Structure 1
Amino acid sequence: MSKIEISDPEDPRLAPYVSIRERDLTGRSDGRFIVEGKVTLAILLERSRFEIESVFIGRSRVEPLAEMLAQVPEGVPVYVAPQDVMDQVAGFPIHRGVLACAHKGQPVGVEKLLEAETLLVLNGISNHDNVGAAFRNAAAFGAGGVLLDEQSCDPLYRKSIRVSAGAALWLPYLQSGQCDDHVSWLENAGFDVWAMTPRTTAEELHRLEPATKTAILLGPEGPGLSDALIDRCRPVRIAMAGGFDSINVATAGAIALAHCHASSGSAKA
C-alpha cells in the first residue's frame, strides 16, 4: 500500500476530492468519479470494471480497514489525513471517512449490452436515489444490464453508487442517446419491450410470460412514459388495490424484474 500522509487541505494531490458536492451537481468533465464508503470501496477494489486512481481515507479508518486497503493495486496512492483535513477538502463532513477516485474509461458497447436476455431501460430518471435503486434491483434480479438515456442522471454519481450497493460499479450499462433510439435498438435485437404504465388497458404483469429477450422500460415519476413510447412497446401494468395506480419507479422495476427472474426458472429457492 502506497500510504501518503496529508496534513494540508490545499495539497494539490487531493484536487479530485475538492468540493465534491459542487462537482457532483455541475458534472465532472475529467472522466473521473468518486466512490464513498467502505462497502462501495470494497466493490471498487474487488469487482469493479473501472480503474482506481487513488484512495483518500481518514486516519482513524486505516487500521480497521487494513485488510481491504491491502487490496489497493500497487502504485495507487492512499492519501491519509486527519478527519478535519478530509472535511475541509470535501467541503462537508465525510462521516464514513472513506473516499476513492476512479476513471470511467470507455463505455460498454451497445452490441455487447444487447446480448443480455433481460435489460432494464431508464427514460428520464433524474433522481439519483431512483437510479441507484434501479441498478440495485437489476443486479438482484439477474438483469444483464441497464440502458439509460441522456436525460437520466449519471449512475456513477456518488450517491447513486451508494444507493445501488455498488452495483453501478460492475453491472454493464450504457448511457447514450434518446429512448426512441433505445427502443429501435431493442426491437432490432429481438427484445419484447415492456413499457410500464398505469393504463387500465395495459396487460397485467402477473399474466405475462417473458419472452426469451425482455426489456423493461421505466419512465420518470409524475409524467411517466410518453404515449408515443408506450404505443411503440407492449404496455404493461402492475395490478394494484382500487383507488391507487402508481408506486415508486424503482419499486415498479423491481416487481417487473422479479417476475421475469422467477418466470425464467433461474430463481433459487
Structure 2
Amino acid sequence: MTDARRPLQIVDPDDPRIAAYRGIRERDLVRHQKRFIAEGTSVLRVLAGQRRFGIESALILENRFAGVADILGMLPAKTRVYVASSDVIDAIAGFPMHRGVLAVGLRRDDADAAPDTARRWRTVVALSEIANHDNMGAIFRNAAALGADAVLMDAQSCDPLYRKALRVSVGAVLTVPWHRFGHADAMLDWLETNGFALAGLSPRGDAALEHWEPPAKAALVLGTEGPGLPDRVMDRTQTLRIAMANGFDSLNVATSAALVLHHVRNARTGPASG
C-alpha cells in the first residue's frame, strides 16, 4: 500500500516528475494517449478501488490531502503521490483546479474490452456518433446505476476517458465494460452475431417504449442529439419512441438512455417496492 503520510512536495510547475499533468486541457485533445487524467475525489476513489486500469500517480492540493488520505492508502505501492499549493497546481494544469484532486491513469488495450464474459451480457448500450463528453459521461453513469452490462460505441463517438466525460460519469467509465468499434455497422454486426436484438431509440420510432417487451438479450442503440440515428442504423433495428408532452419531440440522449434502461430493468425484475 502507498504510505499516504509521505507525499512528495512539488514546488516548481516545471518539475519533470509531474509532466503528465502539465497543460491538461491540451492533453485532453489528444485522443488515445496511453494515459488519462482522473479528476475529483469521487473518480479517484473509483480509480483506486479497481484494477482494470493502472494508476501512475496522484497530484493533490496540499489542503485537500488529509481528506483523501484514506483513498491514497488504497493505491498500489508503486504509485507516486505528489502534493502542491494551489498556485503551483493551477500553473501545472493551466487553469484553476478548484477540486485539487488529480491522478494519472493508464489505459488498457481496447481490444480486450469485449471479452469472453460478453456471452453473459443481457443489456448493452450501443452508441453511434455521441460527440458530447457530458452526454458520454452521463450515459455511463446511467448504465452503471441501472444495470447495463456494457457500453459499446463507434469510432466517431468521443473518448469515454476524456477528463470531463470521466468526471461526469462519477467514475463509471472505469467500472462498466466498454469497447470501441471502427464504425457503427461493425458494432451492429458484432451484436447480432452474439445474439442481441437491436432496439433503436428515436422520436421517429415505430413502437412506444412503454409497450415494448425487452428480449432476452437487448442492445439499446442511441445516436447523437439533433440528427439522431442514421437511416442505415434505423433500418437494422426495432425502432422505439418515448412518449412526450405535446409540443416537445425529443429528450437529451443520456436521459433517453436512463428511461429505456429503467424500462428494461423493471420489465425483467419488476418495479422496486417502496
Q: TM-score scaled by structure 2?
A: 0.93
Q: 2:199 aligns with which of 190, 194, 202?
A: 194
Q: Tell me whether 1:6 sits opposite 2:26 in the alignment.
A: no
Per the alignment, residue 260 of structure 1 pairs with 264
Letter in 2 for 1:197: S
- Residue 229 of structure 1 aligns to a residue whose secondary structure is helix
- Residue 15 of structure 1 aligns to a residue whose secondary structure is helix
Deviation per CA, 1:120-172, whole angstroms, max 9, x where unpaired? Answer: 01100000000000000111110001001111111111110111111001110
Counting only pairs closer than 5 Å after superposition, residues 28-47 of structure 1 correspond to structure 2 as: 29=33, 31-47=34-50
Contact 1:204 1:237 in 2 (8 A): yes
Q: Separation in 1 of the partners of 2:219 and 2:37? A: 30
Q: Separation in 1 of the partners of 2:99 and 2:260? A: 34
Letter in 1 for 2:55: I
Q: Separation in 2 of the partners of 1:183 and 1:10? A: 47
Q: Which runs of 5+ in 2 are unaligned?
A: none
Change (3 A) 1:173 1:228: same
Deviation per CA, 1:41-97, whole angstroms, max 9, x where unpaired? Answer: 011001352110000111111122222222121121101111111110100011011
Q: Separation in 2 of the partners of 1:113 and 1:181? A: 19
Between the two proteins, the alignment pairs up a number of residues equal to 267
| Coordinate RMSD, CA, aligned | 1.4
Letter in 2 for 1:149: D
Contact 2:52 2:108 in 1 (8 A): no
Contact 2:113 2:177 in 1 (8 A): no
Offset of 1:110 from its aligned partner?
Answer: 2.6
Per the alignment, residue 164 of structure 1 pairs with 169
Counting only pairs closer than 5 Å after superposition, residues 133-212 of structure 1 correspond to structure 2 as: 133-199=138-204, 202-212=206-216
- Residue 29 of structure 2 aligns to a residue whose secondary structure is helix
Q: Tell me whether 1:238 sits opposite 2:242 in the alignment.
A: yes
Deviation per CA, 1:153-207, whole angstroms, max 9, x where unpaired? Answer: 111111101111110011100012111111111111111110111116x111110
Q: Separation in 2 of the partners of 1:267 and 1:66? A: 40
Change (3 A) 1:179 1:19: same
Per the alignment, residue 223 of structure 1 pairs with 227
Per the alignment, residue 26 of structure 1 pairs with 30
Q: TM-score scaled by structure 1?
A: 0.95
Contact 1:48 1:170 in 2 (8 A): no
Q: 2:77 aligns with which of 74, 77, 89?
A: 74
Moved over 6 A (4+): none
Change (3 A) 1:9 1:135: same
Letter in 2 for 1:140: A
Change (3 A) 1:17 1:68: same
